[in-house]
Amino acid sequence: MLLVQPDNSFTKNTGSQDHIIYNPPSSAPNVYHTPLKFLPKDDPRRRLHTLLKSTASTSENTSLPPAVRPIYEKKYHLKQADIEEIRRLRAEDPRQWTRVRLAEKFECSQFFVSLCCSAPQIKDERQLQLEKIKEKWGRTKTEAREDRQTRKSTWGKAV
C-alpha cells in the first residue's frame, strides 16, 4: 500500500497503447557489446574491434613508473642465536634497544621483534601515563569510553 498518492498518469489505464516509450541505455554502446562472432565479415565494427584490442595490448606492455618506496620482501635469515641476542639486548636496556632499533639492526620487522621479546616495564610506564591522562577526563568522556569498551566486548556475539 502506498503512503503517497500516485500520479494520475501512473494509474490511468488507457485501452490502446498509441504512444512510444523511449528508454535509452544508460551509456552509449561500444564495440565490445556486439561479439565478433555476430558481426558480418564486411562490418566496419570489426576493424574498430581489432584496433581497440591492439591499443589495449600495447598499453599493457608499457612499463610502470618506479616504486615510491623499496619493495619489501620477507627474509627468513635470523637464527636462534640472533633471536637470543634480540632478547638479551631488549632485556638489558629497553629504552635504548627499542623495537624500531632492533628491527633495523637485525633487518627484520618490528612485529617480529615484538614476537621475540617484550618490555613489561615500558608497558607499565605507558599504562601509568595513560592513567594520569584519564584522571583529567570529565564524566562525559569517561562514560563514552566505557560505553565503547562494552560495545567492543559484545562484537561477534549473537544478541
- Is 65 a member of any domain? no
- Is 14 a member of any domain? no
- Is 130 a member of any domain? yes
Number of domains in the chain: 1
Q: Which domain holds residue 93?
A: 80-152
pLDDT tens-digit readout, 76-100: 899 999 999 999 999 999 999 999 9
Does this model's pTM top 0.85? My answer is no
Kindly state the percentage of the chain with pLDDT values over 70: 83
pLDDT at 59 over 60: no
Which of the residue ranges 11-15, 38-42, 44-48, 100-104 has the most confident prediction, judged by mean pLDDT?
100-104
Question: Are 86 and 98 in contact, with CB atoms under 8 Å apart?
Answer: no
d(CA 139, CA 146): 11
